[in-house]
Chains A and B, each alone.
Chain A
Amino acid sequence: MSNSVQLDQWQKITTVEEIPVLGARVIAAPAGQIAIFRNSEDEVFAVLDKCPHKGGPLSQGIVHGKSVTCPLHSWNIDLSTGCAVAPDEGCAKSFAVKIESGVVWLSREELQATHG
């Protein structure tokens, strides 16, 4: 199975406009709940909505810079990698995002439930 994502393998999710600035939306995908964040630079990130600490819903946190602070115990997660900022350790799965004319696309392959 290849990890690279082909052009025709993207699924349309929503528009950038539909995500609050410095906020998030949640999508319910076969792969699980995924949080899509939008920061003040209109960058969009997609991360599994589960803090590596105790599973808190990252989508509900405060977004700043390229990070989100988990609402449960204030871990800071780097949105571009899904990984906790030091000194905390752990990563939430991050998803590839494509933006085209204000439309947000996620990889179909990654949206699928993971097997095994």
Chain B
Amino acid sequence: MKKQKLVMIGNGMAGVRTIEELLKLDPELYDITIFGAEPHPNYNRILLSPVLAGEQTLEQIVLNDLDWYKSNGIHLHLGKTITKIDRKERTVIADDGTVESYDRLLLATGSLPFILPVPGNDLPGVIAYRDIKDTNEMIDVATRYKNAVVIGGGLLGLEAANGLALRGMSVTVVHLAEWLMERQLDKTAADLLQKSLEEKGLKFLLKTSTEAISPNAIGDRVGSIRFKGGLEIPADLVVMAAGIKPNTALAESAGLHCSRGIVVNDTLQTFDPRVYAVGECASHRGTAYGLVAPLFEQAKVCANHLAEHGIGRYEGSVTSTKLKVTGVDLFSAGNFMGGEGTEEITLADPIGGVYKKLVLKDDRLIGACMFGDTADSTWYFKLMRDAQSVAEIRDTLMFGESNIGDVGHQGHNKAAGMTDADEVCGCNGVTKGTIVKAIREQGLFTLDEVKKCTKASSSCGSCTGLVEQVLMNVLGTDYSATPRKKSICGCSDLSHDEIRQAIRSGHLISQEQVRTELNWRTPNGCATCRPALNYYLISTWPHEAKDDPQSRFINERAHANIQKDGTYSVIPRMFGGLTTPAELRRIADVAEKYQVPTVKVTGGQRIDLLGIKKDDLPAVWKELDMPSGHAYGKSIRTVKTCVGDEHCRFGTQSSMKMGVELERMLFGMYAPHKVKLAVSGCPRNCAEAGIKDVGIIGVESGWELYIGGNGGIKTEVAEFLCKVKTDEEVREYSGAFLQLYREEAWYLDRTVHYLARVGMEYIKQKVVDDAESRKALYERLLFDLKDAPDPWKDFERAGVDVRQFKTIPIVEVGNV
């Protein structure tokens, strides 16, 4: 079949990103042609400021070199401007006469600088600040001339002014509004910014409008600039940075509907269904975005529709701003000016140069504006994007994430304060310098890309926040934040929630069904989505959906814990941490017979046999003759207990009995992540119930229940859920909470993450206040766990493929 022809007008970041996403989805669908007006391949326009400031070179900012176009079979026309689109004939015509026909057309024409309509605006030395040509001219002028005037005190203008000043020019910034960056900052923050830039040598003329630009004495280029009110100052270079406007001339001439941008719908389609538009030229729901993060979100959606997958919608973005001027920390996002129905929390230290303002509405953070200390900007931005309730942390919100708990590890929680040699990712030994280098040299924008290329944050994930901070610091405004809706993996654009809902509402009971119904991109998923899907299926439709062992991580498939050398560890279950002399004797016998190199007591009150060969596992289990400890699973692990009132002189409740009962009840329970419980018999809490998913503390009059604790990567103290009287109530309430977690949490979320997402109030409502809901949850849990097989004993019912324990020996190879 002949390929369809896709023509793209514009060769910038949003457009090329769309093509990249399209090639990922379907490299064979289109014959692709790209027209770019500039003579360069796609480069990182955002990094023009660091180039101007001398911190990077032009070569470093190329994103797709010419080889990339070639190897993807893209016909690239550089230095050609399209002058006409003939929608009837479906052709485009370039200024050099080149004609190209299309089946689908992608407009990515970007934006144009706004040039003030004043006399002299066409003199040599009057330029905009948009592309490589402008940047080169500015660098060149700085070596030969002295006085520069930048018109526009917005983001771009200030970055230009800073760059020119660093290159030795005397720079004056002229700004029409009352304060700098008035669309990103409030006056207080802007005043602080101005002060700090003045200390760097910049001069400012605010509330000033330009009247005329005049030539120099010889008349060969600009010489001075005059403002309303009569002030005239010398100018060897005038940079117009007074704003941009979507470049819609071509689209308008082709009769496409434009209104402050080429109007597109949620699938990035213009009014002509064959024509799409992305990037700064497109107007989506009345907004034309000028930052890279939303444009990349558009690119993803547009590519999906171009690839004829037809899923995914672009629903607008929350954007943030960060100035890329070294030594100036500034951040703003959302509605930072406030307004009716909003509340503000501010912290101002004008002498120390720190200002923070948070805007709240209905217990949600909706805007932030910060100067001087932006270390927590990523966190605030995340709270805004997730529209998470901040009611419970309102008191300490202003003091940042570090104040509401211990973030990161090893005390490092401020990326900006780290040196290049400091380690960001402790699991994979990745330093800040390595990450910064990868972001710059390989043109990375997202957390996922950094994970892939550097391995930082790809293991335990505790440094994710730090990596995001590094990204934000390097990219400034253009940090492409993880989208609000996080897709499960590269195989699908759907979120965990959407998939869970589809499985429930569509009564899907197999992975094949899920992947077909939900248009998976891969035939059998990947190592990320398969285990998640398997869990969602078996937890939503217990006794109905079939467990797929090949979709489980090796530990759950082999029912033991893989070690670095490929051997396994075996931990038999000891309910409540209780054992008997007979069990200990068998453990000792097995350890000797199989020459177990290491025998260790675990933190969960049981015994670990480490270094067992895989082929020996079935025999070891048989000879131990104890239940599986599930120490390897995203499942119930242990119920740790203290001695309690049976022996302890302080005990108020029978914690051992309670713990054993709970552990028996939960036997074989798979969950989104591991689940640990503890029962203490008195408030001295020797079982450490405060750092467990469900912690139970006996008091004279009954039991207190705590949830969402965690002693791992990031220590989290469990929160009080409720107090109950009887043992049966302990089982019902903790069972109901665990079932809620099992039904609603995303795969690999611990209870603490789930709790943070839905909030304590919600859980209390479902588990404590609403007795009917609690009983229903508890019943569903018991139904699911009914006759749960022991994978160490009942291979057939537990779905254990025993072939995996039989290495095929090839002792002798026949003659060659």
Q: B118 in the interface, Cβ–Cβ < 8 Å?
A: no
Cα distance A87–B448 in the bound complex, in angstroms: 12
Cα distance A20–B815 in the bound complex, in angstroms: 30
B530, A71: Cβ atoms closer than 8 Å:
no
Other-chain contact of B801, A23, A54, A60, A112 (Cβ < 8 Å)? A23
Within A1-47, the residues touching B (CB, 8 Å) are 9, 11, 13-14, 18-23, 25-30, 33, 39-40
Known A-B contacts A25-B808, A108-B816; the reply to A60 vs B566 at CB < 8 A is yes
Q: Which residues of B contact A40 (CB under 8 A)?
A: 523-524
Q: Which residues of A contact B562 (CB under 8 A)?
A: 57, 60, 71-72
> How many of chain A's residues touch chain B, expressed as a range?
35 or more
Known A-B contacts A20-B803, A27-B809, A71-B562; the reply to A63 vs B814 at CB < 8 A is no
A27, B807: Cβ atoms closer than 8 Å:
yes
Cα distance A54–B562 in the bound complex, in angstroms: 14
Other-chain contact of B527, A23, A62, A111 (Cβ < 8 Å)? A62
Known A-B contacts A11-B810, A20-B803; the reply to A62 vs B564 at CB < 8 A is no
A61, B527: Cβ atoms closer than 8 Å:
yes
Task: Tell me how far the C-beta of B530 lies from the nearest C-beta in chain A, rounded to whole angstroms.
Answer: 6
Closest to A56 in B: B566
Other-chain contact of B550, A21, A28, A108 (Cβ < 8 Å)? A21
Cα distance A18–B815 in the bound complex, in angstroms: 25
Q: Mark B514-543, 1 if CB is under 8 A from A, else 0.
A: 000000001111110011000000000000
B566, A11: Cβ atoms closer than 8 Å:
no
Q: Mark A62-105, 1 if CB is under 8 A from B, else 0.
A: 11110001011110100000000001000000000000000000
Within B450-470, the residues touching A (CB, 8 Å) are 452-453, 458-459
B564, A54: Cβ atoms closer than 8 Å:
yes
Task: Tell me how far the C-beta of A58 lies from the nearest C-beta in chain B, rounded to whole angstroms.
Answer: 10
Q: Which residues of B contact A13 (CB under 8 A)?
A: 808, 810
B550, A111: Cβ atoms closer than 8 Å:
no
Q: Which residues of A contact B530 (CB under 8 A)?
A: 62, 64
Task: Tell me how far the C-beta of B612 lies from the nearest C-beta in chain A, rounded to whole angstroms.
Answer: 14
A20, B804: Cβ atoms closer than 8 Å:
yes
Q: Which residues of A contact B554 (CB under 8 A)?
A: 60-62, 71
Q: Which residues of A contact B161 (CB under 8 A)?
A: none
Q: B314 in the interface, Cβ–Cβ < 8 Å?
A: no
Known A-B contacts A40-B524, A65-B522; the reply to A71 vs B553 at CB < 8 A is yes
Other-chain contact of A27, B549, B803, B810 (Cβ < 8 Å)? B810
Q: Mark B792-816, 1 if CB is under 8 A from A, else 0.
A: 0000000001011011111001111
Of B452, B801, B803, B809, chain A has the most CB atoms within 10 Å of the CB of B803
Task: Tell me how far the C-beta of A45 lies from the nearest C-beta in chain B, rounded to whole angstroms.
Answer: 15
Other-chain contact of A14, B524, B549, B808 (Cβ < 8 Å)? B808
Closest to A75 in B: B455
B550, A23: Cβ atoms closer than 8 Å:
yes
Known A-B contacts A22-B550, A62-B550, A62-B553; the reply to A111 vs B522 at CB < 8 A is no
A112, B813: Cβ atoms closer than 8 Å:
yes
Q: B558 in the interface, Cβ–Cβ < 8 Å?
A: yes
B526, A69: Cβ atoms closer than 8 Å:
yes
Task: Tell me how far the C-beta of B280 lies from the nearest C-beta in chain A, rounded to whole angstroms.
Answer: 30
Q: Which residues of B contact A39 (CB under 8 A)?
A: 524
Q: Which residues of B contact A61 (CB under 8 A)?
A: 527, 554
Closest to A59 in B: B804
Of A19, A23, A26, A64, chain B has the most CB atoms within 10 Å of the CB of A64
Closest to A107 in B: B816
B810, A69: Cβ atoms closer than 8 Å:
no
Q: Which residues of B contact A30 (CB under 8 A)?
A: 810, 813
Q: Which residues of A contact B557 (CB under 8 A)?
A: 60
Q: Which residues of A contact B549 (CB under 8 A)?
A: 20
> How many of chain B's residues touch chain A, expressed as a range?
35 or more
Task: Tell me how far the C-beta of A73 lies from the nearest C-beta in chain B, rounded to whole angstroms.
Answer: 7
Q: Which residues of B contact A69 (CB under 8 A)?
A: 526-527
Q: B551 in the interface, Cβ–Cβ < 8 Å?
A: yes
Cα distance A62–B814 in the bound complex, in angstroms: 32
Closest to B812 in A: A30
Other-chain contact of A87, B452, B803, B807, B809 (Cβ < 8 Å)? B452
Q: Which residues of A contact B458 (CB under 8 A)?
A: 74
Cα distance A76–B522 in the bound complex, in angstroms: 15
Q: Which residues of B contact A9 (CB under 8 A)?
A: 816
Closest to A40 in B: B524
Task: Tell me how far the C-beta of A62 lies from the nearest C-beta in chain B, rounded to whole angstroms.
Answer: 4
A18, B803: Cβ atoms closer than 8 Å:
yes
Task: Tell me how far the C-beta of B615 lies from the nearest C-beta in chain A, rounded to whole angstroms.
Answer: 9
B566, A20: Cβ atoms closer than 8 Å:
no
B527, A60: Cβ atoms closer than 8 Å:
no
Task: Tell me how far the C-beta of A31 lies from the nearest C-beta in chain B, rounded to whole angstroms.
Answer: 9
Cα distance A76–B554 in the bound complex, in angstroms: 15
Other-chain contact of A63, B550, B564, B804 (Cβ < 8 Å)? B550
Within B495-530, the residues touching A (CB, 8 Å) are 522-527, 530
Closest to B815 in A: A108
Task: Tell me how far the C-beta of B455 lies from the nearest C-beta in chain A, rounded to whole angstroms.
Answer: 8
Within B575-630, the residues touching A (CB, 8 Å) are none
A74, B527: Cβ atoms closer than 8 Å:
yes
Task: Tell me how far the C-beta of A33 lies from the nearest C-beta in chain B, rounded to whole angstroms.
Answer: 8
Cα distance A112–B564 in the bound complex, in angstroms: 26
Task: Tell me how far the C-beta of A19 lies from the nearest C-beta in chain B, rounded to whole angstroms.
Answer: 8
Cα distance A18–B549 in the bound complex, in angstroms: 16
Cα distance A65–B523 in the bound complex, in angstroms: 7
Cα distance A111–B195 in the bound complex, in angstroms: 74
B551, A62: Cβ atoms closer than 8 Å:
yes
Task: Tell me how far the C-beta of B438 lies from the nearest C-beta in chain A, rounded to whole angstroms.
Answer: 9
Within B664-705, the residues touching A (CB, 8 Å) are none
A111, B804: Cβ atoms closer than 8 Å:
no
Other-chain contact of A29, B452, B806, B813 (Cβ < 8 Å)? B813
A27, B550: Cβ atoms closer than 8 Å:
no
Cα distance A94–B550 in the bound complex, in angstroms: 22
Q: Which residues of B contact A108 (CB under 8 A)?
A: 813-816
Closest to B459 in A: A73
Cα distance A74–B658 in the bound complex, in angstroms: 39
Cα distance A87–B428 in the bound complex, in angstroms: 15
Q: Which residues of B contact A64 (CB under 8 A)?
A: 522, 524-527, 530
B553, A28: Cβ atoms closer than 8 Å:
no
Q: Which residues of A contact B813 (CB under 8 A)?
A: 11, 29-30, 108, 111-112
B566, A28: Cβ atoms closer than 8 Å:
no
Q: Which residues of B contact A27 (CB under 8 A)?
A: 807-810
Q: Which residues of A contact B428 (CB under 8 A)?
A: 73
B803, A28: Cβ atoms closer than 8 Å:
no
Closest to A25 in B: B808
Cα distance A50–B549 in the bound complex, in angstroms: 22
Cα distance A74–B459 in the bound complex, in angstroms: 9
Of B428, B810, B815, chain A has the most CB atoms within 10 Å of the CB of B810
Closest to A69 in B: B527
Q: With A60-B554, A60-B557 given, can you name 19 additional A-B contacts, CB distance below 8 Å? A: A18-B803, A23-B550, A23-B801, A27-B807, A29-B813, A40-B524, A55-B566, A57-B566, A61-B554, A63-B550, A64-B526, A65-B524, A69-B526, A69-B527, A71-B562, A74-B527, A108-B814, A108-B815, A112-B816
B residues bordering A, Cβ < 8 Å? Answer: 428, 452-453, 458-459, 522-527, 530-531, 549-551, 553-554, 557-558, 562, 564, 566, 801, 803-804, 806-810, 813-816
Could you list 28 A-B pairs, sorted by A, with CB under 8 Å?
Answer: A13-B810, A19-B803, A20-B550, A20-B803, A20-B804, A21-B550, A22-B551, A25-B807, A27-B807, A30-B813, A39-B524, A54-B564, A57-B562, A57-B566, A61-B527, A62-B531, A62-B550, A62-B554, A64-B526, A64-B530, A65-B524, A65-B526, A69-B527, A72-B562, A76-B527, A108-B814, A108-B815, A109-B816
